Structure 1
Amino acid sequence: MTRVRGGDTGVVDDLPEVRFARTGDGVTLGYQVFGRGPVLVWMPSLSNIVAQWRIPVVRAAYLGLSRHLTVVLYDGRGTGSSDRRIDLTDLGVDAHLRDLQAVLDDAGIERASLLGYYHSVATAIAFAAREPGRVERMVLFGGAPRLREAMRPAQTQALLSLVDQDWGLFADAAATAWLGWDSAPSGRWTAEAFRTATTAPVAKAWFEAAQHIDVTAELGRVRAPTLVLHRQGEQQIPVEVARRLTGGLPDARLVERPGSTPTLFLEDPAADVRLVTEFVTTGRVSRPAAGTAAQMLTPREGEVLRLLAAGDSNSEIARRLGIAVHTVERHLANLYRKIGARGRTDAVAYALRHTPD
């Protein structure tokens, strides 16, 4: 089992070995294999598998999944530990399929479940349609068969405009405003993982190619049982996109997870890990048991609630936690909804009744 040093030092001990596969068109790809049990390939978007181990929440997700699953991570062409010098005109779905095929073949994996995440949702669908004998099950989050649908929200378009203007600013904004990693050290290390994942020209080419990826015609040929997960705020991908995806697949279920952070394993991470693990190992989907409202709060929301109950203003909370005021406001809106508060007074009353001293 991988051992990783905790805390916010960013130092990772005993990482899984980075292996290297070679695609049919001569691109070298870095990948890792760890854990035990049925194989789950966590497919990449812009990734840096080594840097991602430094993100505490992501590291916890990797280790949580690896208790019952063999997890495969890899960097797609042009990113992370894979070849950076690539043909920027060849980043469509066929190129990404060559990446996945090369990793599976090099690792000697005949059959696996796929976790398609954001950009790689379309690739997972295409592979399952074209290679049905190699895909056991699929878990899909944050993407769409027509990728431009997942990239349409105004906030996403505004962020993508930063890619070739200010790569560092894009990385910071993507980690916080886009993906919701507000808390230190997760936000800091997520931004660093973005920043080191690739270069601005490669990222720009990735996103431009994604606008043209459309595997809608292949949905009906997918035979793998599929779990579609959705957790997004109003400014991110609307739930209708996930519902259309689910309806287009012959054997799919949609689970809408509570919360508004557009990622897995950040809000209620233990339940997300259980949900994915159970589906991959058994094919069953058991909705997480409803807990108390306090149990449903994220750690950051709990901190905001405690400071609110202590009488701090939004600006004081922001200063104490090292986050923006608008982020405090977003956390307040989320926790108000979870605890049924109509406003600040109700939330303070709730905190006094339910928050331990």
Structure 2
Amino acid sequence: MSITINILGELAVFKNDTPVGLPASKRTRALLAFLAITSRPHRRDRLCEVFWEIPDDPRGALRWSLSKIRPLVNDDTERLIADRERVRLDTTDINIDLRQLISIANNRDLSVEKLTELAESLNSTLLDGIDLPNQELFQQWLTAERAALSQTRASILRRLVSTSELSFSERLKWAREWEQLEPFNPKAATSLLTVLELMGRSTDALRLTQEFTTRFRNAGIAWSPDKRKDYTGPEEPDPCSSRPITNKTSCREILARQRIQFCKAHDNVRLAYASVGEGKPIVKAANWLNHLEYDWDAPIWSPLFRELAKDHRFIRYDERGNGLSDWNVADISFDTFVTDLESVVQATQVDKFALLGISQGAAVSIDYTVRHPHKVSHLILFGGYAAGWRHNASAHTILEREAVMTLTAAGWGQDNPAYRHIFSSTFMPDATLDELNWFDNFQRLTTSPKNAVRFLDVFSQINVVDLLPKIRVPTLVIHSLGDNRIPVDVGRDLAATIPNAEFVGLESNGHLLLGREPASAVFLDAIRDFLKRHQ
């Protein structure tokens, strides 16, 4: 049976080209559209936040909506996949109108007729009538999706304006639509003016020149009416096309490219993993506070991960009890951290790779490298330590760390100034208020208060000191010189004990690097240079 979901205009579902009645509940229809467009797993608690303003039983409301969606998309094939923690709609064999149109738009050799057809087809409101004004998170997502649709249509209009196969009057029609769609795009304005002048309509061009000059000046956008010899400018790739990851690549676009998959650990815990980018693989060992989706919008991880994905296949996973992996697990221990990494490597089928370990992920990486030296081509450790704080800790350190654990249990994910002060002063001492606010929300989304305390307890007991002399692969140790969480001497000791290890100190106070810090560029340069020298 063929299933089609149309999301341009009003939401519609067809089975074998026959319309199917949709649930009366707008939230349920919105949930169906959200699952179809994102086509990736979502935690149940997050879906409750996005679609329900904390009713008496948000999980019950979600179950009810899923029960209405299930007969719409399931037949002999189970497409709505829901377990106790996650929900996903498998759209592999579902025809989605916008997805098909974007696939066509990626073709750079389309005829004028096909471009015209695309421009008309894309001139529809995405999910018309599905707005949920009182659901801020859903509305933000819907607004972003509609903006992306506008960008896709704008790229088609641009191609129509620039083609020599159309008459000037036809180009003028599309130039006007492009300028109306993107009123603050200098190229759209310039293209419209140039077409008017080529048609001999200088009066109209002069009037619009004055209007555009005022508009762009008030908006603080650089624009000059004199620069229009080539009114279309150099050809640009479509927003929807495949191109290298850059710092300007949107979180939404990366999520669209990233394919989240699941594998099972030795004790049947489901682990979420994903990769993005092309080239020699880098596997990042999981560390506390990771999320395969939200990392891409993070001031901490996103800029660094984007850079690594430019030249490499960058593989990440969420640790058990964290992110999109199973939260309700019996065993959270250092040994499971290592065996989880083994499970992910086996699932990705990479033969040899550079292994990146950050914070406690460094100890996991050290243990894995000793167990599997033939798999690891390079070992890169940042902010790492070989022994947790309970080993040889001073009385002051024990009191401080146990205070953090107590505050974590009580204040996780809440606007708790005392908790945030202790956390930020050791992890991100130079973070701005906006970055701290982001971190407050991020921590709530990545794991539960109970699991956060379990993680901290395991970290305190880590001890891989005896494994350091056994490492036989090229190793780079990077550490912030002002790291208050893990002092730089700990990093220097790692480098001194691991045979032939190299050490790079960063001018930063952060245990977690903020992407805007100059030290982040040094971090990336050090990794690139290290990988190049040890090919």
18 and 217 in structure 1: CA distance in 2 versus 1, 3 angstrom threshold:
same
Alignment deviations for residues 6-50 of structure 1 (CA, whole Å, 9 cap, x no partner): 79xx96344112111111211111111011222111222222221
Q: Return the offset for 1:246.
A: 1.2
2:268 is aligned with 1:26: yes
Q: Is the 8 A contact 2:504 2:526 kept in 1?
A: no
**CA spacing shift, 1:164–1:43, aligned 2, 3 Å:** same
Which residue identity lines up with residue 427 of structure 2 in the other structure?
A: L
Does 2:348 correspond to 1:100? no
Which digits, 9 at most, give the CA deviation of each residue in 1:314-355, with x for residues without a partner?
A: xxxxxxxxxxxxxxxxxxxxxxxxxxxxxxxxxxxxxxxxxx
Q: Is the 8 A contact 1:56 1:185 kept in 2?
A: no
Structure 1 residue 263 displacement after superposition: 2.4
Q: Which amino acid aligns with 1:276?
A: I
Conserved? CA contact 1:80–1:197, under 8 Å:
yes
One-letter amino acid matched to 2:327? R
2:468 paired with 1:216: no
Matched with 1:38 is 280
| RMSD across aligned positions (CA) | 2.8
Kindly state the Cα deviation for residue 265 of structure 1 after the two structures are TM-superposed. Answer: 5.2
For 2:266 and 2:512, the matched residues in 1 are separated by: 32
- Of the three residues 265, 274, 282, the one matched with 2:525 is 274
Larger Rg: 2
Aligned equivalent of 1:247 = 496
Q: Which residue of 2 aligns with 1:332?
A: none
CA drift at 1:4: 8.9
* 1:178 lines up with 2:178 in the alignment: no
Which residues in structure 2 correspond to 1:104-253 (within 5 Å)? 104-148=345-389, 153=397, 156-168=401-413, 169=416, 172-173=420-421, 176-180=424-428, 182-183=431-432, 185-233=434-482, 235-253=484-502
Structure 2 length normalisation: TM-score? 0.48
Residue equivalent to 1:53:
296
Letter in 2 for 1:227: L
In 2 relative to 1, CA 227–5 (structure 1 residues): closer, same or farther, beyond 3 Å?
Answer: closer
Question: How far did residue 253 of structure 1 move?
Answer: 1.2
Q: CA deviation at 1:184?
A: 5.6
In 2: Cα distance, 1:257 partner to 1:238 partner: 12
Normalising by structure 1, what TM-score?
Answer: 0.71
Q: What amino acid is the match of 2:436? A: G
Q: In the alignment, what sits opposite 1:327?
A: none
Shift in Å, 1:190: 2.9
Question: Distance in 2 between the 1:241 and 1:207 partners?
Answer: 18
- Paired with 2:472 and 2:296, the residues of 1 have a C-alpha distance of 33
In structure 2, stretches of 5+ residues that fail to align are 1-242
Q: Distance in 1 between matches of 2:282 and 2:361?
A: 14
Q: CA 1:262–1:232 in structure 2 vs 1: closer, same or farther (change >3 Å)?
A: farther
- CA offset digits 1:80-104 (Å, max 9, x no partner): 00011111xx333220111111111
**What letter corresponds to residue 12 of structure 1 in structure 2?**
R
Cα shift at 1:199: 0.6
Shift of 1:147: 2.1
Local SS of the residue matching 1:64: helix
In the alignment, residue 136 of structure 1 is paired with which amino acid?
Answer: S
**More RCO (CA 8 Å, sep 6+):** 1
Q: In 1, Cα distance between the equivalents of 2:481 and 2:264?
A: 36
Percent identity reads: 24
**Structure 1 segments unaligned to the other structure (5+ residues):** 285-357
In the alignment, residue 67 of structure 1 is paired with which amino acid? K
Distance 1:100 1:150 in 2: 25
Q: Structure 1 residue aligned with 2:312, among 65, 69, 75?
A: 69
**What is the alpha-carbon distance in structure 2 between the residues aligned to residue 227 and residue 209 of structure 1?**
25
State the partner residue of 2:215. Answer: none
More displaced, 271-280 or 221-230?
271-280
Q: Which amino acid aligns with 2:323?
A: G
Deviation at 1:260, TM superposition (A): 1.6
Q: Which amino acid aligns with 2:412?
A: W
CA shift for structure 1 position 155: 5.5
